[in-house]
Chains A and B, each alone.
Chain A
Amino acid sequence: MSDGARKTRRFFGASSSGAGGSGAGSASYRGGVGIGAARVSDVNTGILDENVLALVFRSINFDPKALCTVARVSRRLRAVAERVLWRELCISRAPRMVASLTGVPVGVAGAPAPPPPGRIVGGWPALAKLLLFCCGAASAAVPGHFTGVSRFSKTSGRSFLSRRCRGDLLYVSDPCEHAVPGAADDVGAYRGVFRGFMRSRTRACLVGRRAALETRVRCPYCGARVWSMVAAGLVPRSAWRRLGAYEGRLEYYVCVSGHLHGNCWLARLTSSDGEHDGDSDDDDDDDDASTEGRSDDGHVPS
């Protein structure tokens, strides 16, 4: 390489201000390749560049409010949110659960990160909402609300599956308790998600029984149609026992994407009862997924 063609700059010591550079091209010139070059053929640059968006949102821990806002700005931002940002939120809040649902292993420190999962049935925005939002109970006029912190458990999920469907993998949250004005008891609202719902025994049972889809209820997470598990006769007694609900006083829906939502009337506990009489609450750590964020107080930043 000839010396004449080379433009070498020397940067020695803090005194070099570097402002504007020494003999560089004008500040507005953006030819060539690489970071800093004009990308005429690619309109998705700057804030619309998904790599930039991913980095910026990672720095704010994929704040759900900011994400919900950004998804409303334009088609491009909505698309990036749907494909990348909501996915990263899910992974950051519940890495093991997401790994289990998608079959993509969790990264191990020190080893190269596995490629992230591409899709999830029902979409990433729906899963993110499911992780962070309690849908309340329409029948008891309990409105939905942002929760931020929830615990999902496979063991809880198991108790929601009738015996013949016990091979399915289902995560269910702890019930979120709501006082209902005028009622003596509290309503517990819960939600969950199946792994591989399309191939599940539960779905096969529903289809086999020709269970009818509900006409007036939709999945609060993805908007899809739902089956009533009560109507289909697929609610085992272990479900209401696990919840501490009154026998028979629960509703529980599963949508065609495999999202679960439901609510029940919680039996008032006597002071000597534990929360889960009968079922021991000895979930393996591996079974649980908490959506607590990485901040010190264990709460997802709102």
Chain B
Amino acid sequence: MASAGSGDEKAATVTLISSDNEHFEVPEAVATLSQTIRHMIEDGCTDGGVPLPNVTGRILAKVLEYCNKHAAASDKDELEKFDKAFVDIDDQATLFDLVMAANYLDIRGMLDLTCQTIADMIKGKSVEEIRETFNIKNDFTPEEEAEIRRENQWAFDD
């Protein structure tokens, strides 16, 4: 069962343990935005905390930021504003980490949000734009590049 909070008024909480051994005490109502954690709570195996060996504390903190907000607020506009700011991250790497975390923790809303954000950087963009956005080196020879371009033209021949 979840470890009880110290006050008699507080709702049940659960302790999440990141891969680098940071502990996060979180209300169940927030933690259960993650289906993965929800199932663990339901299965009654959260005594002593839930280890999440796949997620660092840094990312888990960000995930919980999302869960906190979405568990509490219900105003659509407010959530939309939050979501927009949430993914407005300079550090691209964090965005990718959030995709993986959302998938691992099974948080549908966060997965959709983060995937959408990255997809918007890809869909409708040119090859060069994609390289620039993600800082990817073109490692094809000019001949290879021309060949691969020909090979992949078909989806554009409407």
Docked-complex contact A72 and B152, CB < 8 angstroms = yes
Q: Known: A71-B148, A72-B145, A74-B137. Contact between A18 and B119, CB under 8 A?
A: no
The smallest C-beta distance from A32 to any residue of chain B, in angstroms, reads: 4
Say which one of A4-12, A165-173, A187-195, A243-251 lies at the interface with B: A4-12
Contact of A31 among B20, B24, B139 (CB under 8 A): B20
Neighbouring B residues of A27 by C-beta, 8 Å: 58, 91
Q: How far is the CA of A60 from the CA of B101 in the complex (A)?
A: 19
Q: Known: A47-B118, A51-B100, A59-B115. Contact between A34 and B19, CB under 8 A?
A: yes
Neighbouring B residues of A47 by C-beta, 8 Å: 92, 96, 118, 134, 136
Q: What is the chain B residue whose CB lies nearest that of A46?
A: B96
Q: How far is the CA of A258 from the CA of B136 in the complex (A)?
A: 36
Chain A residues 250-286 with CB under 8 Å of chain B are: none
Q: How far is the CA of A64 from the CA of B157 in the complex (A)?
A: 12
Q: Known: A32-B19, A46-B92, A56-B115. Contact between A11 and B152, CB under 8 A?
A: no
Q: Which of B52, B54, B119, B126 has the most CB of A within 10 A?
A: B119
Q: How far is the CA of A100 from the CA of B131 in the complex (A)?
A: 37
Q: How far is the CA of A18 from the CA of B94 in the complex (A)?
A: 16
Interface size on A, residues (CB 8 A): 64
The smallest C-beta distance from A67 to any residue of chain B, in angstroms, reads: 7
Q: What is the chain B residue whose CB lies nearest that of A63?
A: B123
Neighbouring A residues of B96 by C-beta, 8 Å: 45-47, 49, 52
Docked-complex contact A37 and B149, CB < 8 angstroms = no
Neighbouring B residues of A36 by C-beta, 8 Å: 19, 55-60, 94, 97, 101
Q: What is the chain B residue whose CB lies nearest that of A1?
A: B21
Q: How far is the CA of A78 from the CA of B94 in the complex (A)?
A: 24
Docked-complex contact A8 and B152, CB < 8 angstroms = no
Docked-complex contact A46 and B134, CB < 8 angstroms = yes
Chain B contacts to A: CB under 8 angstroms: 10, 15, 18-27, 30, 52-62, 64-65, 68-69, 71-73, 91-94, 96-97, 99-101, 103-104, 111-112, 115-116, 118-119, 122-127, 130-131, 134, 136-140, 145, 148-149, 151-158
